[in-house]
Amino acid sequence: MHTQVASRRKLAYVRMSLLPLFLFLLPLTILVTGCEKGLNGKWAASGRTLDNGEKQLSILELKQSGSDLTGTFKTLGYSVDVKGTATGNHFELFRSQEEKKPFLAGDLVNGELHGVLGNHHAFVAKPATSDDHLPEVTYIAPPPLQNVSYNGLAKTPPMGWNSWNLFAGKIDDQTVRAIADAMVSSGMRDAGYIYVNIDDTWEGVRDANGNLQPNHKFPDMKALADYVHSKGLKLGIYSSPGPRTCAGYPGSYGHEEQDAKTFASWGIDYLKYDWCSAGMIYKDEQMQPVYQKMGAALQSTGRPIVFSLCQYGLDAVEKWGGQVGGNLWRTTGDIRDEWSSMIGNVEKQVPTAPYAGPGHWNDPDMLEIGNGHMSDDEYRTHMSLWALTAAPLLAGNDVRSMTAATKAILLNKEVIAVDQDPLGRQASPVKNGDLELWTKPLADGGVAVGEVNYSASAMKATINAGDLHLKGPVRKARDLWSHKDVKFTKGSYSAMVPPHGVLMLKVSAK
Ligand code: GLA
């Protein structure tokens, strides 16, 4: 008994005498554990809530060994392995050795990761909790290659309107109906602009049977299609071969046939199919069979649906886009409403010219005409170049409120006729200092020409009949912007062209 009490007292004494040491060591222990944690562990970054109610979430799982970092980055649509380095609190992560700029870079600040994802997305992550959970995406091997036969559509480049350039995520049923009305009242429909295309952010979630529903912005897609059809127009929609679209909504990955059937049942006439998160699952060389899967699925619905590939011109799409059932394919990244972007896109697709023709077109992206950041001269050049290169004419502006100048550009029937010429040839350019001459042979033996002034001052442009490969001397020449016949004298015609403007003629020997 006595010994028991004595030993308890001794223990209490030891505890008491160790307390100051413990209190002294505690902060040190926290400091050391903190250092050991470093960037190690699971980090969760929650993003915005999508229009379909889903919350965007990314989970970064990292292992740090000295300055070396390895791990995985997962979002709703994909998972990717990352490797990189830590220097003090700063970290940089890459998806492959070839990547020049970090995929994700930032700093550890007060127990949180603060950085930039991709080129410009802000990334803030906290230590993940058990609530931070993402569904697994399993790999689905693409089908063996086969040819999808031509659907007989888009004999001339598709014309219409698309929601993305101006409305982006702010598109809904009411706006699409109002746009359809305006396509009729403005004369756009009668000029040939038939397709009214809903781009990204219409998607809801899948029901218990896996059927993709529209979100609350599009309460009844079939009724919307009926409305658009009643106006003599056609309705287009958007999806991705990946699990997620570029705006983060559900894509058609693993549901290709089901989605094609759904689109057909709604009365959809056009599908833009955007690579987006498929790039995290498949290699560029797998694009052909991946696109073929949807091409075949659309075909087996029996409904004529224009198939528009959007994979930014990767893997020489112009060489196989037609074989997967594609009617058009993007050749470039996204257009912006500025001169350098517009010109950059059309120049980028120059090497694809031999692959354009009835049923299958190169697509330098949608029009920006009327969106307000280029001059009217620049927009006239935009329209002329899209027509000369037989590009799809998909207006990207608010057709409910067009200025007279915008209307005159988009509704220029003589320029539209060049785009829609049944021969379907894509113009190629010849550069001469600040001037560039684009020539497009036409079905009636004539030639459409556009001389573009790249400089910041007005320049005299001369078009020489000898450069046009006509079968005889010039009999008729017409300025397609002034809507006047003009005269070639001694085999040439000259006119002043404003900065970033164009002289566009149709010339024939008949
Ligand atoms: C990509 C496409 C755009 C548009 C957006 C939608 O960036 O290239 O044309 O469809 O996705 O998210």
Same fold, 159-419 and 428-509: no
| 405 Cα–ligand 1 center, Å | 27
Q: Choose one of 317, 334, 335, 368 to mutate for the ligand 1 pocket test, by most ligand atoms within 8 angstroms of C-beta.
A: 334
When pLDDT is averaged across residues 152-171 and rounded to a whole number, the result is 98
Ligand 1 atom at shortest distance from the alpha carbon of 312: 8
Split at pLDDT 50, 70, 90, the class of 218 is: very high
| 441 Cα–ligand 1 center, Å | 32
Q: Phi/psi at 169 (nearest 5 deg)?
A: -75, -5
Q: Phi/psi at 196 (nearest 5 deg)?
A: -110, 110
Q: Choose one of 161, 310, 311, 348 to mutate for the ligand 1 pocket test, by most ligand atoms within 8 angstroms of C-beta.
A: 310
- Residue of 213 and 8 predicted with greater confidence: 213
> Cα–Cα distance between 102 and 371 in angstroms, integer?
33
| 337 Cα–ligand 1 center, Å | 14
For residue 297, pLDDT over 80 is answered with yes
Residue 2 CB neighbour total at 10 angstroms: 6
Q: Where are the beta strands (DSSP E) in 95-145?
A: 104-109, 112-117, 121-127
| 274 Cα–ligand 1 center, Å | 7
Per-residue pLDDT tens digits for 441-497: 999 999 999 999 999 999 999 999 999 999 999 999 999 999 999 999 999 999 999
For atom 3 of ligand 1, the residue with the nearest CA is: 334
Which amino acid makes up residue 49?
Answer: T
Q: Choose one of 162, 199, 240, 272 to mutate for the ligand 1 pocket test, by most ligand atoms within 8 angstroms of C-beta.
A: 199
> Cα–Cα distance between 497 and 476 in angstroms, integer?
21
pTM of the full structure? 0.88
Catalytic-role residue among 334, 376, 377, 479: 334
pLDDT of res. 15: 46
* Pairing state between β 306-310 and 328-330: parallel
Catalytic-role residue among 199, 269, 274, 363: 274
3-state secondary structure of 68: strand
| 336 Cα–ligand 1 center, Å | 12
For residue 151, pLDDT over 60 is answered with yes
**What are the pocket residues of ligand 1 if the criterion is a CB atom closer than 6 Å to any ligand atom?**
164, 199-200, 245-247, 274, 310, 334
| 437 Cα–ligand 1 center, Å | 31
Per-residue pLDDT tens digits for 67-92: 999 999 998 877 889 999 999 999 99
Q: Choose one of 245, 274, 331, 332 to mutate for the ligand 1 pocket test, by most ligand atoms within 8 angstroms of C-beta.
A: 274
Select from 474, 466, 485 the least CA-distant residue to 510.
474
Give 448's contacts (C-beta < 8 A, 6+ positions apart). 387, 388, 418, 421, 427, 439, 440, 442, 480, 504, 505, 506, 507
Ligand 1 atom at shortest distance from the alpha carbon of 334: 8
When pLDDT is averaged across residues 209-213 and rounded to a whole number, the result is 98
3-state secondary structure of 187: coil
**What tokens does 85 get?**
């380095």
pLDDT of res. 47: 85
Average per-residue pLDDT in the chain? 93
- Does the domain at 428-509 match CATH 2.60.40.1180? Answer given as yes
Q: Are 394 and 402 in contact (CB under 8 A)?
A: no
For atom 1 of ligand 1, the residue with the nearest CA is: 246
Ligand 1 atom at shortest distance from the alpha carbon of 310: 8
Ligand 1 atom at shortest distance from the alpha carbon of 201: 12
- Does the domain at 159-419 match CATH 2.70.70.10? Answer given as no
> Cα–Cα distance between 301 and 298 in angstroms, integer?
5
Q: What is the DSSP letter of 106?
A: E
When pLDDT is averaged across residues 191-197 and rounded to a whole number, the result is 99
pLDDT of res. 36: 52
Q: Choose one of 164, 165, 240, 276 to mutate for the ligand 1 pocket test, by most ligand atoms within 8 angstroms of C-beta.
A: 164
For atom 8 of ligand 1, the residue with the nearest CA is: 334
| 386 Cα–ligand 1 center, Å | 19
Catalytic residue flag (residue 421): no
Per-residue pLDDT tens digits for 324-368: 999 999 999 999 999 999 999 999 999 999 999 999 999 999 999
Select from 258, 252, 257 the least CA-distant residue to 240.
252
Catalytic residue flag (residue 467): no
Ligand 1 atom at shortest distance from the alpha carbon of 333: 8
When pLDDT is averaged across residues 216-228 and rounded to a whole number, the result is 98
Edge to edge, the sheet with strand 502-508 lists: 428-432, 435-441, 447-453, 502-508, 476-479, 484-485
For atom 4 of ligand 1, the residue with the nearest CA is: 164
Select from 424, 418, 422, 472 the least CA-distant residue to 450.
418
For residue 239, pLDDT over 70 is answered with yes
When pLDDT is averaged across residues 307-327 and rounded to a whole number, the result is 98
**What tokens does 388 get?**
């000369």
| 432 Cα–ligand 1 center, Å | 34
Ligand 1 atom at shortest distance from the alpha carbon of 247: 12
| 442 Cα–ligand 1 center, Å | 32
Q: Give me the residue spans of the domains in the chain.
A: 2-127, 159-419, 428-509
